[in-house]
Amino acid sequence: MDPYTTVESHATQPVGLRTPFEALSNEAQGRLRELMESLDPLGRLAARARSGSSNASARRKGQTARRDIRLPKPGDVLRRCYKGRAITVRVLESGFEYEGRRFQSLSAIAQAVTGAHWNGLLFFGIVHQER
């Protein structure tokens, strides 16, 4: 067969109905799996992608959402000094409390404190950015 010959697709579905993952070559799918595993060693993202669910959809369905394992346990207190101000956050079962207000995420608290978008885990020193 010469390089200019058109080959008919043997896909079972029209290309427009396939998922973006299925549209990738086998080699690209394998590399994507490797990257996902290296970024998410516990497989949480892959499992979520397969099931099509998220914490938000679990809450809508009335199921209990799994807690991010990087977060401190409910009842713990996070402390940080920012521009001479002591920031104290209490970890709740569902969210966080800062200055008497409830927040859904540490990022929301970091934004309230700084006025700029921050990754909450980085702001409170729970994880460290790799350079």
**pLDDT for 47-75, tens place per residue?**
665 555 555 555 555 556 677 888 889 99
Question: What is the mean predicted confidence (pLDDT) over 68-94?
Answer: 91
Tokens of 22: 């299925």
**One domain, residues 60 and 91:** no
**One domain, residues 51 and 21:** yes
The two most distant CA atoms of the chain are separated, in Å, by 73
Residue 129 lies in a domain: no
Question: pTM for the whole thing?
Answer: 0.50
Question: What is the mean predicted confidence (pLDDT) over 27-53?
Answer: 69
**One domain, residues 99 and 39:** no
What is the count of structural domains for the chain?
A: 2
Q: Give the CA distances from residue 59 to residues 31, 45, 109, 129, in Å, rounded to whole numbers and listed in that order.
A: 33, 17, 22, 30
**One domain, residues 60 and 84:** no
Domain range for 45: 1-66
For residues 77 and 88, the answer to whether their CB atoms sit within 8 Å is yes
Residue 52 lies in a domain: yes
92 falls in which pLDDT band (50, 70, 90)?
very high
